[in-house]
Structure 1
């Protein structure tokens, strides 16, 4: 058998000799199922990677669910705080209004008190049947009641 010549002129390549020589290392023994050990190891590694990927996905999904639940809880808390602050502001406004009303009523009471005392003096003078005290009490009563009326009508 003759092969064509390639390369520098006059150089010949050796003709192929019989069968290929045996490899320097022995072939791995077949597995009991008839598959080579490397195929079996590769399958086990792939299975482990698949299980680890599933665990990672499960952990990720669980973490996201907890995160979403925490965010919802925080939103609810913020809403509750806002509502509570609003109610506190309303109660504070009502308290201020009540304090203003109490202050006004106290001023009216203080203005009416001299008039009521003069009325009591008039009744005492009538009970004693004292005309001099009755006249004085009537004059003072008219004056103090007129002042009270002005203070209340303001």
Structure 2
């Protein structure tokens, strides 16, 4: 591989004809001073080091408005998240309370059923006792008549009372024993 030579005899680009163009020269720059600026004055170039941009600058007002809007959105987002978390906690608490109330309601229903069964049993027993009482009362009245006849020493009354008492007590015995 060979490289092209760039000399007067082998120059692939021909030299330009005419004088070189003249470019404007920059103005001479004064030498920098080594003295610091007076106290209380800030440099005039670059952004301010601290604080807000000047109020008369349109860029400063826009930046300030955007910062306030972002801050408000951040506060609203935080409040919304707080409400969401609070509502989730409230919903969980409410669910727990509902489950507890459901358990209490089921327990109350069970007790009501037990009480209804006990009431029905007591009603059945009461009806049995009432029936037995109704059957035993004539037998007891006849027994009282027998005692009255014995006290009065009346044989005819005693015989009638014994006969009626025997029939009433036999009927009572059949009902009570069944």
Normalised TM-score (structure 2): 0.62
- In structure 2, the residue matched to 1:97 is 121
Counterpart pick for 1:118 among 133, 136, 142: 142
Deviation at residue 136 of structure 1 after TM alignment: 1.6
Q: In the alignment, which residue of structure 2 is the partner of 1:153?
A: 177
Runs of 4+ in 1 over 6 A off after TM superposition: none
Q: Which runs of 5+ in 1 are unaligned?
A: 1-17, 19-28
Q: Displacement of 1:71 after TM fit?
A: 1.6
Query: Could you list the per-position Cα deviations for residues 26-45 of structure 1 after superposition, in whole angstroms to 9, with x for gaps in the alignment?
Result: xxx94563877466665554
Segments of 5+ residues of structure 2 without an aligned counterpart are 1-23, 25-45, 54-58
Cα distance in 2 for residues equivalent to 1:129 and 1:31: 138
- State the structure with bigger RCO (CA 8 A, min sep 6), 1 or 2: 1
Output the CA distance in 1 between the equivalents of 2:159 and 2:166.
11
User: Residue 50 of structure 2 is aligned with which of 12, 15, 33?
Assistant: 33
1:49 aligns with 2:73: yes
Which has the larger Rg? Answer: 2
The residue aligned with 2:86 is 62
Residue of structure 1 aligned with 2:103, choices 73, 76, 79: 79
What is the aligned length?
127
Note the C-alpha offset of 1:126: 0.4
* Aligned-partner Cα distance in 1 for 2:47–2:118: 91
Which structure's residues are more often helix, by fraction? 1
State TM-score, norm by structure 1: 0.70
